[in-house]
Amino acid sequence: MILNVKAVAGTLGVLFFSLGVALVCPLLVDLIYGEGHWLAFAATAVLAMAGGGGLWYRWGGRGNELRTRDGFAIVAFSWFALSLLGALPFYLSGTLPSYTDAFFETMSGFTTTGASILGGTDTPPIESLSHALLFWRSLTHWMGGMGIIVLTLAILPILGIGGMQLFKAEVPGPTADKLTPRVRETAQRLWLIYVGFTVLQTLLLWPAMGLFDAINHAFATMATGGFSTKNNSVAEYGSGYVDWVITAFMILAGVNFALHYRLLKGRFGSVLRDMELHTYLTILLGATVLITISLMPAGEPFGRAVRLAAFQAASIVTTTGFATADYELWPPLAMTVIFLLFFSGGMAGSTGGGIKIIRHILMFENSFKELKQLIHPRAVLTVRLNGKPVSEDVMRNVLSFLVLYCGLAGVGTLVMAMTGLDVLSAFTTTISCLGNIGPAFGDFGPAENYASISSFGKWFLSFLMMAGRLEIFTVLIILTPVFWER
């Protein structure tokens, strides 16, 4: 058979059931605050657990080992299906009468894009949502940040067989770093670090914004998602302390979690020598300096200019999408820097989206290698990263990814222009959703929302969000005829 249907269906059942369990959390939040939306969460949870349990009971089992093709199918199908299910609380509660809007908001949450339709002419402002729905928005970020399947691998041993196929298809980056020989142990360590950072940030933010908002912003920061509990995002708090705490944790979330693990193991040397980390921090520092230089002549005091620059640079590089200011009102130099950062992305193995720093490094290293090859045509040259040669397979993956990324950006711009958007808005909404960034330029900057986009446009942008989060290959491969050939 083309796919191991039993293995695919059984694994999807486990993931659906896991989503149902997760829905119990916002249900409890609603019961605590007594806001009357518990039934929407309960109905969705029962549907997810019953459907998932049924699939696992009928087709699950350790005998169904997953192949590479099955792994791609499970990851792509599960992210789409889980977003369909996760949208139901918004729709069933009556908060979002349009299921398209509910799906867009949920897909934006799971993929950590942070593009929102809330606050539009026909959609409620963020502050009017119940605590349970606000918590659910943030929880979708948090689960999607490290990966829904990686979470399931960490806590459920029944996905152990073939789990590496799922791990590789979901974890961002040209290669999937295994911290330990066993994929389940790797998933557990990644999630322990992730939870630890989330708890620490919550404790630091708690005195400045209250426990509920602190939890939600910690979820969104560590996932590099960007959903806030306020229409004005982090700017609502007007606190330098809040800005710097979130800036620090955005930067940490944009770092490869394998490096965090090495630090905890005391392997400082390998971390300090990491070329991708050096480039990542250099980009952040350079962008902060340039934006600061641009803002000061516009009247911003030095301290505030540095704070605004560092926050916005970290927000865009890591694809978090939080805002403390409307960068479309900034001087041209600052806006240009922000625009260029849209094409950066976090480190591979982080929760950040975008192209990823490592791909830029390998692309430039390969270009320099070709220049040297022209001068020394008989020399045997290889691309090296951290002193080690990079395989041709990885280089082929990187170059193919960049071609597909640019192709999707071009097609996406044409499609969004067909829906009536101007060129700047069409291009930047495409790049923003494909890179899981959130805010864009034009009609969809940090002070605006995506509510005015047509229904078709929202479904198309949702597809781009999922393609970007799953590194393009995982989504596009199931749309190719060769995937379905025997």
User: Tell me: the pLDDT tens digits for 435-454?
Assistant: 999 999 999 999 899 999 99
pLDDT number for residue 168: 55
CB 3 within 8 A of CB 54: no
Q: Sign of the CA dihedral 305, 311, 312, 314?
A: positive
Counting residues of the chain whose pLDDT is more than 90, the rounded percentage is 64
Spatial distance between the Cα atoms of 84 and 388, rounded to a whole number of angstroms: 43
pLDDT tens, position by position, 6-55? 888 888 898 899 999 999 999 999 999 999 999 999 999 999 999 999 98
List, in order, residues 6 or more apart from 102 with CB less than 8 Å away: 87, 88, 90, 91, 96
Q: Sign of the CA dihedral 411, 416, 418, 424?
A: negative
CB 16 within 8 A of CB 149: no
pLDDT number for residue 162: 47
* CA distances, 353 to each of 52, 206, 356 (Å): 29, 27, 7
Spatial distance between the Cα atoms of 263 and 236, rounded to a whole number of angstroms: 35
What number of other Cβ atoms are within 10 A of residue 404's Cβ? 15
Instruction: Determine whether 205 is exposed, middle or buried from the number of CB atoms within 10 Å of its CB (0-12, 13-18, 19+).
Output: buried
pLDDT number for residue 179: 53
Spatial distance between the Cα atoms of 65 and 295, rounded to a whole number of angstroms: 57
All structural domains of the chain with their residue ranges:
5-239
Question: Model-level pTM?
Answer: 0.92
Which DSSP letter does residue 81 get?
H
Q: Sign of the CA dihedral 449, 454, 456, 457?
A: negative
Q: Which two tokens stand for residue 468?
A: 């970007």
Spatial distance between the Cα atoms of 405 and 431, rounded to a whole number of angstroms: 9
Spatial distance between the Cα atoms of 307 and 102, rounded to a whole number of angstroms: 34
Counting as low any pLDDT under 70, the low residues of the chain are 1, 61-65, 148-184
pLDDT number for residue 351: 87
pLDDT number for residue 160: 46
